[in-house]
Amino acid sequence: MLIDFSALDARTAYFWMASTITPRPVAWVSTCSAAGVHNLAPFSFFQMVTPSPPTLMISPLLHPDGRAKDTTRNIEETGELVVNLVPFALVDRMNATSFSYGPGESEIEQCDIATVAATMVKPRRVAGVPVSFECRLASSTAYPPGKPSCHVILAQVIAAHIDETLLDAGGQIDPVRLDLVSRMGADWYGRTTGQANFSLKRPEGWNRLPPAS
Ligand SMILES: Cc1cc2nc3c(=O)[nH]c(=O)nc-3n(C[C@H](O)[C@H](O)[C@H](O)COP(=O)(O)O)c2cc1C
């Protein structure tokens, strides 16, 4: 079956992309507005971009009426965010925070989420997550120019909080104990447990400089 994306509306393109580009990690993004309202929302359009400088990307879509989501507005207003990773134990709490609360309402209060102060930024960390990244805004770009549907937000990681009980004897993160949730298509989620994990060594010499052309 061939799908011609040039003829697709955004909803259908979303369906095919979001249900096949999987599993996607979930960034549970904590921000604080200039007025001091704490906000928390999940985003699965999320990735690491480069370790140098350590940078991650989230892409909040615009609302159908063209308004930016609270997360985008807060990040652009204050330049700060905390990206929490979501353990299976908190998946229902994470889901609850995706509800469209108004800019003056805090998901942290409305959904009764336990948080702790971050170290270097004002947005709070979610308590009980295995990993959270304290970040500063590097750039926010409305995409595509002219008729944007989202903001591509690059954020520099300035500190990470890692639950040390997740480290194995060699100091590596144990993926099974990490037990993060990921986003699949429709209402499906994945977990990083059990047989979903396997180990694979890179080919010998994989990291040589490629030959010059
Ligand atoms: C698992 C999950 C992943 C989501 N990923 C995204 C995403 O990548 N981009 C987006 O715009 N909305 C995404 N949403 C929806 C937002 O979380 C939702 O619009 C939220 O209300 C935004 O909150 P805010 O206005 O406080 O920023 C996701 C929701 C869930 C449950």
**Helices marked H in the chain:** 10-18, 70-78, 91-96, 107-110, 175-178
Peptide bond into 23 cis (omega under 30): yes
The predicted model gives 98-127 an average pLDDT of 96
Per residue in 10-31, pLDDT tens?
A: 999 999 999 999 999 999 999 9
Q: Where are the domains of the chain?
A: 16-191
> How much is the mean pLDDT over the chain?
96
Q: Is pLDDT above 90 for 213?
A: no
Instruction: Determine the pLDDT at residue 187.
Output: 97
Instruction: Determine the pLDDT at residue 196.
Output: 86
Looking at residue 197, what DSSP letter applies? -
Q: Is pLDDT above 90 for 88?
A: yes
- Measured CA to CA, the distance from residue 147 to residue 133 in angstroms comes to 31
| Residue that has been written with the tokens 């037990």 in this structure | 179
- Measured CA to CA, the distance from residue 96 to residue 104 in angstroms comes to 17
Percent of the chain's residues with pLDDT above 70 = 100
Instruction: Determine the pLDDT at residue 194.
Output: 82
Per residue in 34-81, pLDDT tens?
A: 999 999 999 999 999 999 999 999 999 999 999 999 999 999 999 999
Instruction: Determine the pLDDT at residue 92.
Output: 98
Q: DSSP string of 121-158?
A: SSSPEETT-SEEEEEEEEEEEEESTTS-SEEEEEEEEE
Q: Which residues line ligand 1 (CB under 6 A)?
A: 26, 39, 41-45, 59-61, 69-71, 95, 98, 100, 183
Q: Is pLDDT above 90 for 176?
A: no
For the stretch 84-120, what's the b/e string if a residue is b when 16 or more beta carbons lie within 10 angstroms of its beta carbon?
A: bbbbeebbebbbbbeeebeeeebbbeebebebeebee
Backbone dihedral angles phi then psi of residue 56, each to the nearest 5 degrees: -125, 165
- Measured CA to CA, the distance from residue 180 to residue 191 in angstroms comes to 6
Instruction: Determine the pLDDT at residue 195.
Output: 85
**3-state class (DSSP) for residue 55:** strand
CA of 173 to the centre of ligand 1 (A): 27
- Measured CA to CA, the distance from residue 206 to residue 89 in angstroms comes to 37
Instruction: Determine the pLDDT at residue 144.
Output: 97
Q: Is pLDDT above 90 for 159?
A: yes
Kindly state the tokens that stand for 35: 């007025």
Question: Could you say which of 3.30.2320.20, 2.30.110.10, 3.40.50.300, 1.20.120.10 is the CATH number of the domain covering 16-191?
Answer: 2.30.110.10
Per residue in 117-128, pLDDT tens?
A: 999 999 999 999
Q: Is pLDDT above 90 for 109?
A: yes
- Measured CA to CA, the distance from residue 128 to residue 115 in angstroms comes to 8
Instruction: Determine the pLDDT at residue 44.
Output: 98
Between β-strands 150-162 and 54-58, what pairing exists: parallel, antiparallel or unpaired? antiparallel
CA of 123 to the centre of ligand 1 (A): 17
Closest ligand 1 atom to Cα of 58? 8
Cα dihedral 86→91→92→97 (10° resolution):
30
CA of 154 to the centre of ligand 1 (A): 17
Using a cut of 0.85, tell me whether the model's pTM lies above it.
Answer: yes
